[in-house]
Amino acid sequence: MSQSPTSATARPTAPRAEEILGKYFPVLDHGFVALVDYMGTDECIERAARVSYGFGTRKQSQTRGLLRYLRRHKHTTPSEMVELKFHCCMPMFIARQWIRHRTANVNEYSGRYSLMPMLFYTPEQAQLQTQSRSNNQGRSGDAVEQATYDEALRRWNEIRKLSAGAYEWMTSEDLARELARIDLPLSTYTQWYWKIDLHNLLHFLTLRVDSHAQWEIQEYGRVMAGMLKRVAPLSYEAWIDYDVCGDRVSRMELDALRRLIGVGGEELRAQGASLDAKSLAELGLSTREVSELFGKLSPRDVPDFELDLSSARGAESFAEEFAQAVPSVDKPKA
């Protein structure tokens, strides 16, 4: 006998996370992220750290203080007790970057079993930029001219039309899907369920919301950070303060700072000591390390990854879009 549904639960829940469960947030032109489920809250991290009491015995300020201490001193095991499960859809070239984070449970859409939707990511003109001269794996920040963008768009569309046509012909001829798919471009969309604990999610987000990450995966990171903010707001706050807006410093960088504020700092300041490039080089910092240190000391804006709830869509709208993009298996008429 089936039981009637009930909203009552003995699980710890986060009301603001409950508000977005089952809502799909668009990313790029055809992608999305949805928080499917979560296990645990900020309070669960404290409970795991102390393992000596039940819920409801601590003030939020005490929970916040402990969580910030844990984050500050890299005591990560308690945060592994909280998990988040996402449904994500992204271009394949982003999926290949994403899967490098090998600390999650993943189940991806199967192109061997199911027909691939003919949906392709097309960058906007602002994102089609020249190659960076200082970063071999990044873009320069300078968008190409309109004529160059138009020609790139024409070539993308030509390649995709040929690729999609070949795929649709092969599948209509009942050729094996696992082989019919092999020449689909990396712009083709895939999707997966992705479950990860909070500790490893924070590591993923730290790298993927960073300005040096590829812009497209930053877009996914920002939405997921907004979801985290609703599940574990105190952990999110500590992550912003210590990781996103904080930084690591090397031995040489610490030596440089000590020359100004450490032992003997008053005497050095009286002598006009400064963090100029020459004095930093004398401490063993390379030219690039000097540049990075100045970057670390530059003021940073505090990001706010708040979700735009008005952009959320139901799962059925994306399902319909993907269903319409799946090629027909009927043989084309002569």
What is 109-137 written as a DSSP string?
--TTTSPPP--B----GGG-EEEPSS-TT
CA angle 62, 73, 239 (to 5 degrees): 70
Cα–Cα distance for residue pair 260/265, rounded to 1 Å: 5
Residues linked to residue 108 through DSSP beta bridges, in sequence order: 192
Residue 22 CA, chain-centre distance (Å), reads 19
Average pLDDT in the chain:
88
Tally of residues, the chain: 334
Residue 261 clears pLDDT 80, i.e. is over it: no
Q: Which of 71, 160, 208, 222 is catalytic?
A: 208
Residue bearing the bigger pLDDT, 54 or 14: 14
The CATH code that applies to domain 15-246+315-325 is 3.30.1360.170
Model pTM score: 0.87
Cα–Cα distance for residue pair 223/38, rounded to 1 Å: 16
pLDDT at 290: 81
- Token digits of residue 311: 């952009």
For the chain, give every domain's residue range.
Answer: 15-246+315-325, 251-297
pLDDT at 62: 86
Active site residue 259: no
CB count, 10 Å around CB of 173? 11
| Sequence letter at residue 45 | I
Burial 113-137 (b: 16+ CB within 10 A, else e): eebbbbbbbbbeeeebbeeeeeeee
Mean pLDDT, to the nearest integer, of 164-185? 96
| pLDDT tens digits, 52-93 | 555 555 677 788 999 999 999 999 999 999 999 999 999 999
- Token digits of residue 194: 């992705």
